[in-house]
Structure formats: C-alpha cells, structure tokens
Structure 1
C-alpha cells in the first residue's frame, strides 16, 4: 500500500535494467500484455460484471445487510431508513446518498 508506481515498475523490470533501450521497451510491452491478458481472462470467466475486489465488498455488505431492518416511513420509493447495529441511517436512492456517509467513501451500496 505504501509503494508508488515507480517502485512497482522498478521491481517488475529489475532484470531488464542492463538491456538496450529498445529491448527494455519490448520487454515492457510484453510484460504488460501478459498482465492484461491474465486479468482479462479472470474477468471474462467471471459470472458477474464486478471486479473481484468489488464483488468481495458487495458480498460482505450483503452478509451485514441481512441483519438490518429497512423502514419506509414516508411511503416514498426512493427514501428509506435503515435500522441496525444500534443506529439508523437515512438513504436516498435517487441521489445515491446515505446519512452515514459510507456510500460516499466506498461507492458501493
């Protein structure tokens, strides 16, 4: 989490440092092509449209959400109140906002 992009690329291209410049560019293109093909294969074989990290967050949220109670006090289809874990939050589905601000951080419902 603390490494920057330059350090990451430096570790990937450790062996290529002594090559001529043209060979380094060819190696970079080859390695990135490999990485993209591998990730594309993972996503292409997936049954969902989410990347694995987002799918994990959504599954965890679903598990936690099973313990919550949803109340529609004003009868609107876009505004609900969620109760659970000793607190409540007001959610506006049309604005995609929540009073707990968790959606603002994660951007996943």
Structure 2
C-alpha cells in the first residue's frame, strides 16, 4: 500500500513517464476517466444506505456490538462494557472514548451497541459523505 496520492500515481504511471508531454497528459486523462467510470459503476451497483466500503466497515463493527453490555447515563451518554474494558459513548456529539467514532465518522462497535440499546438507527450517526447518494454525486458528470 502506498502512503499518499503522489506515490499511488507514480506507481500507476511508471511506464507513461517516458512519453512526450502531450501523450503523458492523454494517458493521465484516460486513466482518470476510467477510474471515474469504475467508481460510478460501483456506486450505481450499491443498494444500501452507505457505500459498499463503509457498509462493510459498519457490518464489521456490528458483529462486535452484540456481546457488549450497555448502561445509559443519560439519553445521549452511555457506558459500554467489553469484558473489563469500559468505553464512554456520547451519541449527541458522535464521540466514543475509543476514538474510532469521531475519527471515521461512522459508528464504532461501542456506538452501535449504544444505538441498539436505544432502539435507534445508525443512519443519523454516519457522515453524509459515506452515503450512496453522495458517492453518486461525486462521480456524476455535469
């Protein structure tokens, strides 16, 4: 895996670097065009609320959450127990003491356990950028 976009592009365009400048630009244009088409097709083939990648991450978190115990302190603050470990989840601020909820802007296993305890859906707690609708708009041609 590469650490940044420049390294990613360097790896993909290694053979094209020796081309004349016009041909290099044409190569880059067609490469980006192909990537956009692939991403748009993938977004169109998604029928869940979240895009495929984020839905998978949410499912992974969801498999961990049933074994967690939840104690509500207030309507928004919950203590989630995982064996001897304790996590504090604030649903109002979308934060968990594990740090994953606020970093990913997607409910972690602890937040999902708290949401399950409140009988609430995860949809109000995910970044709008991860939704199928946002993904479609990202790759839509004007």
Same fold (TM over 0.5): yes
Per the alignment, residue 19 of structure 1 pairs with: 19
Distance change >3 Å, CA 47–CA 11, structure 1 → 2: same
**Structure 2: gaps (5+ residues):** 108-142
How many residues were matched structurally? 107
Distance change >3 Å, CA 15–CA 90, structure 1 → 2: closer
**Structure 1: gaps (5+ residues):** none
How much does 1:26 deviate? Answer: 1.3
What TM-score, normalized by structure 1, do the two folds share? Answer: 0.79
What TM-score, normalized by structure 2, do the two folds share? Answer: 0.64
Q: Which runs of 4+ in 1 moved over 6 A?
A: none
What's the C-alpha RMSD, in Å, of the aligned pairs? 2.1
Pick the structure with more helix per residue.
2
CA distance in 2, matches of 1:2, 1:18: 22
1:24-74 Cα deviation digits (max 9, x unpaired): 11111111100111011111110124333322221111000011122224x
Per the alignment, residue 9 of structure 1 pairs with: 9
CA distance in 1, matches of 2:6, 2:95: 36
Per the alignment, residue 106 of structure 1 pairs with: 104
